[in-house]
Amino acid sequence: MRVLKHLCLLALSLTTCTVLAVGPAPEPLKQKEVLTIGYVKVGHLSAMLMLEEELKKFNIEVKRAEFVRYADARTALLSGSVDVSAVGPGDLAIAAAQGSKNLIGLTGVGSSAKYLVVRKGVKIDNWGDIAGKKIAIAPGSAVWFQWAMTLIEKNIPYTTFSPVNVQGGGTAFVQAMKRGDIDAMVLWEPFESQAVAEGDAYFAKNLDYSQSSSVGAELGMLAASGQAMSTKKELVRRFLWAYLNAEEQLGKSKEAFADAYSKYTGLPLSVTSESAKIITLGGVLDKAQVARLAEAAFKQGIVQKNVTKEAAELYDDSMAKDIKK
């Protein structure tokens, strides 16, 4: 079973690849408790849509806190204003570099190929074609880190292209593409597929930047505050069971995934159906990848000290492994 799971993750197949099943549901809590959950409305977190009714069965009342960026969710976890949320895999290095242990990684959430999104009429067929092109980036974001580290590992100078820093959410990128202000963009779903579905762009499938050894293909990470792990551990356990159970159900059908994706993000099915084809639900993150991320973040000056060991220690997927056997 473990070998099969390993081969499944190596393949990063675009088809469903469910090997480990979620175990029996935990018992309800004896009295009503409250859990504050951070939400980031991106497709690979669509299982979040299905949590509240499930958690009610466990006697858990959910309070929502919506964030646009992983960075905002990280700040909320570190301050203790939310109990659990999704953040970026690299956020453990940032937390460790700040000397904090109040961010505990629980499990990854999904993977996908990451293709450069190119404006229609612009020819980018290989890595050499990015020379001189205006490419929109979100500095410091998880996808930017994937892109930057891929260039380093391919020995392509960052100065090869002209970076265009875009502030705000993915909509700003799509609008810049539509106006013709940029030639390509390094972005996240569902906005990648939105630009393609609306006919403004195409995926440059020879330029996949999800495979760098230092960053990998993981799209996100469920995390809890250290305080929640100390005082609300059984609530966190039930949250994680509910999430992994919903994820397993969505992973069985691309149609169900696309429908949940549409309801969660508010995007039309024409967009989410295409996006759902690209994403494989189920985390591929592990301690070794967290360590490589932290090491790369230090070498590139994203964090100011080497916290490779400390970041890896903040990732504890034992609860997720216990739930999925």
pLDDT in tens, 157-213: 999 999 999 987 789 999 999 999 999 999 988 899 999 989 999 999 999 999 888
325 pLDDT tier (thresholds 50, 70, 90): confident
The confidence score (pLDDT) of residue 8 equals 41
| Stronger pLDDT, 228 or 4, i.e. the higher one | 228
Q: Does domain 114-208 have CATH number 3.40.640.10?
A: no
| 184-185, strands of its sheet edge to edge | 162-165, 134-137, 184-185, 115-119, 201-208
Q: How far is CA 212 from the centre of its chain?
A: 16
> Distance (Å, rounded) from C-alpha 83 to C-alpha 232?
8
Which CATH code is given to the segment(s) 2-10+18-111+217-323? 3.40.190.10
Work out the mean pLDDT of the chain and round it to a whole number.
91
Compute the average pLDDT of residues 100-108. 97
| Stronger pLDDT, 190 or 65, i.e. the higher one | 65
CA distances from 184 to 24, 58, 151, 212 (A): 46, 46, 15, 20
- Assess contact for 65 and 38: CB atoms under 8 A: yes
> Distance (Å, rounded) from C-alpha 185 to C-alpha 321?
36
> Distance (Å, rounded) from C-alpha 65 to C-alpha 52?
13
Task: Tell me the one-letter amino acid at 147.
Answer: W
Q: What is the dihedral of CA 79, 84, 88, 92, to 10 degrees?
A: 60
Cβ neighbours around 277 below 10 Å, total: 15
Is-same-fold flag (2-10+18-111+217-323; 114-208)?
A: yes
Domain assignments of the chain as residue spans, ordered by start: 2-10+18-111+217-323, 114-208
Model confidence at 6: pLDDT above 60: no
- Assess contact for 109 and 39: CB atoms under 8 A: no
The confidence score (pLDDT) of residue 103 equals 97
